[in-house]
Chains A and B, each alone.
Chain A
Amino acid sequence: QKEVEQNSGPLSVPEGAIASLNCTYSDRGSQSFFWYRQYSGKSPELIMSIYSNGDKEDGRFTAQLNKASQYVSLLIRDSQPSDSATYLCAVGSGTASKLTFGTGTRLQVTL
């Protein structure tokens, strides 16, 4: 079983719709959770971090965390073509240490 699992996609959504990206993790001791966006040929760029159960909103992005279900998600409202990228879920222990990444979900926002 992979430590951090994501559906590889592609997830295709029309412009203006809500994109929902999901991630599950296996280590119950995980404390920190991150979503990175990676455009083709570029390095990962931090979108959101979340540490507590519930929702965290930042502009068009909402991260949701449910530690009991070992589940973290990212919602993108009013999706734009520029949101088309691979979204990486990363999980950490809550201290300065390595992050464990999923393989990413490729999002395609269509006109």
Chain B
Amino acid sequence: GAGVSQSPSNKVTEKGKDVELRCDPISGHTALYWYRQSLGQGLEFLIYFQGNSAPDKSGLPSDRFSAERTGGSVSTLTIQRTQQEDSAVYLCASSPPAGQQETQYFGPGTRLLVL
């Protein structure tokens, strides 16, 4: 079946502009996660959704970052007033419903470059 999809695959923006990144999880997966990976670094957790609610937002680096999920499916990560340090690959993952193994499957990522 189809895997996790993300769009756009690449985004170049100017400092101070807002960007929206989209994630479409695997069908039937109730949990959705956002991570980011800076060049040469490990994955940094941002936020986790169970259905449409976000029990864990602890990784969002500042109030410029927000995310929502609608219909228990698609999620959007919004970064307002982008800064150069926001440049990274933003990865989305999804996992099956609670009670099953919580293996997370990753999408291809969005490469964000802030000039």
Interface bin, chain B: 20 to 34
* B107 contact from A43, A94, A95, Cβ within 8 A: A43
Q: What is the number of residues of chain A that contact chain B, defined by CB distance less than 8 Å?
A: 25
Question: B52 at interface (Cβ–Cβ under 8 A)?
Answer: no
CB neighbours of B56 from chain A (8 A):
97-98
Q: In the bound complex, what is the Cα–Cα distance between A34 and B93 (angstroms)?
A: 14
Q: Is the CB of A43 within 8 A of B109?
A: yes
Stretch of A13-21, A63-71, A73-81, A101-109 lying at the B interface: A101-109
Q: In the bound complex, do residue B42 and residue A103 qualify as a contact, i.e. CB atoms below 8 Å apart?
A: yes
The number of residue pairs between A and B whose CB atoms lie closer than 8 Å in the complex comes to 59
Majority SS at the chain B contact face: strand
- Which of A32, A44, A98 is the most central at the interface, judged by chain B CB atoms within 10 Å of its CB? A98
Q: In the complex, which of the residues A4, A49, A88, A95 contacts B103, with contact meaning CB atoms closer than 8 Å?
A: A49
Find out whether the CB atom of A100 lies under 8 angstroms from the CB atom of B91: no
Q: Are A96 and B102 closer than 8 Å at their CB atoms?
A: yes
Q: What 0/1 pattern do residues 82 to 111 of B give for CB contact below 8 A with A? A: 000000010100010010011111111100
A94: nearest chain-B partner, CB-CB? B102
Chain A: CB-nearest residue to B40: A103
A13 to chain B, nearest CB (A): 22
Q: Which of A44, A46, A49 contacts B43 (CB 8 A)?
A: A44
Residues of B within 8 A of A34 (CB): 103-104
- A residues bordering B, Cβ < 8 Å? 4, 32, 34, 36, 42-46, 49, 51, 88, 90, 92, 94-104
- Which 5 A-B residue pairings sit nearest by Cβ, starting from the closest? A103-B42, A101-B43, A98-B45, A96-B31, A43-B106
Instruction: Provide a sorted-by-A list of 28 A–B residue pairs whose CB atoms are within 8 angstroms.
Output: A34-B104, A36-B106, A43-B89, A43-B108, A43-B109, A44-B43, A44-B106, A45-B106, A46-B104, A46-B105, A49-B101, A51-B101, A88-B43, A92-B102, A96-B31, A96-B95, A97-B48, A97-B55, A98-B33, A98-B56, A98-B59, A99-B43, A99-B45, A101-B35, A101-B42, A101-B43, A103-B41, A104-B42
Give me 5 other A-B pairs in contact (C-beta within 8 A), A32-B101, A43-B107, A46-B103 excluded.
A49-B103, A94-B102, A95-B98, A95-B102, A97-B48
